[in-house]
């Protein structure tokens, strides 16, 4: 079985940070998020992966290479123009083989039970299974309605609320069968172009509920929260243990005397915190220099502060 990691997006809501760093490469507690994604896939026995690229492709390709340093095998597709989730998968279909494919986002911090999702997918003989989570805001942001057999009856306000009364949110993780590939658009969103028409037709589309910690890193607020929540132990992911104090300092960072690092602050590799400075609930990016107090923000390498 192979995995596809979607990594082509622009990360517009995190600009100016993503003008120089592709969003999947933004570090969560010192580790590029896409590496955390790859580690989680490998822990579930998945070693063959395809990554689609468009915005700032070279930092991803040069960092990951062929995947051998992470004990996986990576192939890439390069999109001359961004193709969307459906188009990106279809464009890579020649590399994905003829078995079930797990699709994940490279810019989401989420470590679901993939074995359980796969077992559910196979037991339902599903064409596609969407990993979903319970969320009180699901109805507002785009619900996935499941019936009592976990079949998706409603998706992003399309379909039947009566038949799919159990409302959840889509996590961006899904398992798809190769026979779905011809139904994908050459360019566009898999949910709108493929899944919603299937729901309307009563196609074999199911949901698998997973309530592990989930954080879309797409906004400054969520990116900061993902880091501080892990450091403070408010949330947890496989393979990470919070430090005894509520801050994280990279071994290659420099922190001068008299500094206060509090509330889940993360200091990145090569960063420099000058004497007497307080860094409160913030993420200091690699090689950034902090010479005055900062609170609840991202400190970019060039000194730009990004607040929620």
pLDDT digits (tens, 9 = 90+) for 275-286: 999 999 999 999
Confidence of residue 2 (pLDDT cuts 50, 70, 90): very high
136: confidence class by pLDDT, cuts 50, 70, 90:
confident
> What pLDDT score does 143 carry?
87
What pLDDT does residue 162 have? 61
- Ranges of each domain in the chain: 2-215, 243-306
Q: Does residue 5 register a pLDDT over 80? A: yes
Q: C-alpha angle 44/250/213, rounded to 5°?
A: 40
Percent of the chain with pLDDT over 70: 98
CB atoms within 10 A of CB 146: 23
pLDDT reading at 158 higher than 80: no
Q: Are 6 and 34 in contact (CB under 8 A)?
A: no
CA dist 156 and 142 (Å) reads 4
Alpha-carbon span 94 to 78, nearest angstrom: 13
pLDDT value for 25: 94
Distances (CA, A) of 151 to 144, 163, 167, 195, 209: 10, 9, 12, 12, 12
Across 159-163, 182-186, 198-202, which has the greatest mean pLDDT?
182-186
Q: With CA atoms as reference, report the closest residue to 152 among 71, 234, 208.
A: 208
Cα(157)–Cα(305) distance, rounded to whole angstroms?
37
Instruction: Categorize the per-residue pLDDT at 160 as very low, low, confident or very high, splitting at 50, 70 and 90.
Output: low
Please tell me the distance from the alpha carbon of residue 242 to that of residue 232, in angstroms, as a whole number.
6
CATH number of 2-215: 3.90.550.10
C-alpha 133/C-alpha 144 separation (Å) is 9
Q: Are 167 and 141 in contact (CB under 8 A)?
A: no
- Condensed to tens digits (0 to 9), the pLDDT of residues 46-99 reads 999 999 999 999 999 999 999 999 999 999 999 999 999 999 999 999 999 999
């Amino acid at each position: 079985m192979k995995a596809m990691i979607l990594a082509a997006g622009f990360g517009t809501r995190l600009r100016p940070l993503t003008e120089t760093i592709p969003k999947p490469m933004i570090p969560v507690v010192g580790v590029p998020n896409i590496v955390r994604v790859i580690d989680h896939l490998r822990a579930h026995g998945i070693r063959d992966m395809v990554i689609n690229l468009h915005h700032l492709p070279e930092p991803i390709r040069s960092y990951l290479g062929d995947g051998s340093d992470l004990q996986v095998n990576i192939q890439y597709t390069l999109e001359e123009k961004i193709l969307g989730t459906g188009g990106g998968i279809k464009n890579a279909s020649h590399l994905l083989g003829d078995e079930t494919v797990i699709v994940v986002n490279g810019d989401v911090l989420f470590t679901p039970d993939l074995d359980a999702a796969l077992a559910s997918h196979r037991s339902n003989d599903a064409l596609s299974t969407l990993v979903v989570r319970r969320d009180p805001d699901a109805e507002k942001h785009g619900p996935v309605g499941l019936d009592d057999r976990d079949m998706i009856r409603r998706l992003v306000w399309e379909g039947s609320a009566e038949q799919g009364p159990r409302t959840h949110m889509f996590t961006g993780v899904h398992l798809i069968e190769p026979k779905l590939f011809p139904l994908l658009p050459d360019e566009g969103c898999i949910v709108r172009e493929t899944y919603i028409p299937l729901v309307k037709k009563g196609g074999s589309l199911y949901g698998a509920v997973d309530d592990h910690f989930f954080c879309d890193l797409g906004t400054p607020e969520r990116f900061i929260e993902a880091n501080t929540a892990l450091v403070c132990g408010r949330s947890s992911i496989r393979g990470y243990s919070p430090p005894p104090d509520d801050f994280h300092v990279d071994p290659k960072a420099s922190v001068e005397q008299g500094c206060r690092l509090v509330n889940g602050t993360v200091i990145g590799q090569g960063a420099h915190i000058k004497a007497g400075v307080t860094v409160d609930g913030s993420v200091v990016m690699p090689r950034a220099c902090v010479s005055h107090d900062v609170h609840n923000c991202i400190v970019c390498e060039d000194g730009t502060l990004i607040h929620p």
